[in-house]
Structure 1
Amino acid sequence: MNIAIEVKNVGKTFILHNQQSAKIPVLGGINLSVNYGECVVLDGHSGSGKSTLLRSLFANYQPDEGEIIIHHQGMQTELISASPRAIIELRRTTIGWVSQFLRVIPRVSAIDIVMQPLLEIGADMQVARDKAANLLTQLNVPERLWSLAPSTFSGGEQQRVNIARGFIVDYPILLLDEPTASLDSKNAEVVINLINQAKARGAAIIGIFHDTQTRDQVATRLFSMQKSAH
């Protein structure tokens, strides 16, 4: 097996400081291995810790216990104890994040927003522009919008710009946070194809999908979160 991510006995408790330091256990004793070339979908009811685990795999949250080991290019990085510099480098080259929400950058055009991650790893400007244009076309973002800042776009158009940005780099590991939420069936089908193409090239994918039909089209297997919290 070609392991990409190992999650070992990971736990996370949130402390609500504005509510007399109440403790809310969200994750407990999570163990999960994900191989390159498979898509593992986190499965569980609202509040079962799916988003917390996914954000922990991107180092947005820091678990209280356990280990998250990233395997890539013959190296191992333990994410929970990793330095900020190491995390930035992993996000630049190894771990991609795709969500429905676009952090809009004022006065930066849609195509430049999509191109940026590819340029940051040294891609040629024209290669990056061509790939960005191809993704925006696939995702039915009208060409007349590409030179405009997405702050003026509809929610659906912003979402599709963000999806294009998430897929511009062929990341070895992809984390998907409901990427098809709110999309119409035509654009959801495009995203499903992008996910399956990434899986076919050998990416390790972990995702959250509330739409069972979409989930069933991309999932190699499900990982149950039902028993994750203490």
Structure 2
Amino acid sequence: MNDFAGIRALVTGGASGIGRATADLLADRGAQVAVLDLDPSGVDKPLLAFRADVTDDASVRAAVTDAADALGGLDVLVNNAGIGAQGTVEDNDDEEWRRVFDVNVLGLVRTARAALPHLRSSSHAAIVNTCSVAATAGLPQRALYSASKGAVYSLTLAMAADHVREGIRVTCVNPGTVDTPWVGRLLDAAPDPAAERAALQARQPTGRLVTAAEVAGAIAYLASPLSGATTGTALAVDGGMQGLRLRPANR
């Protein structure tokens, strides 16, 4: 497919995991792609790499400006940078709540704020935010993470309403548990990594973790010029976790 021919895209958190899979896919489909990451050293051509810390407004503004200059403009922003958190509402102190919201919510705000002046000059402007099934389904031991992704979901809808008449589409993708380096580290730290992986797989009706490539495919669908009538939408890529209610096996 070459539906992204002539499209200039920026992916945050694009050096690994979902972000890297998305950047590679968009490039394969014809886009010019720039990656923003805390450590973009592993990013190579045809991707352009820029270092940015989404918790620092000056860093974000400078990197977005540099990326837009290098690309000759900006049509698509993928707000993918984020961090995880575990525990109930009792298990994280105020500082950890601030840290996670600073990355997962305010990081998105800072990047979108810096990108909007460039997007307004595009005839195919789109913002895709990486949200989570945790925004729409109650998951145990994920209070802080769920709260941050609930904010991303609501923010996506508000941004879609604010910018639709400017020709800027805003959507989000809601992955289930994705087989990424972060999840790998989470599993490695568990008392029984194999049992923890089996439990995460079992809660998704497909019986397996989502792949980064599958989430990238959904992001590409939402960002594509072919999806010009799609805005204010949350697309679940969760193995049926949110919507399906299966009977126990063999019943």
Same fold (TM over 0.5): no
Q: Which has the higher contact order (CA 8 A, sep 6+)?
A: 1
Q: TM-score, normalised by structure 1?
A: 0.32
Bigger strand share: 1
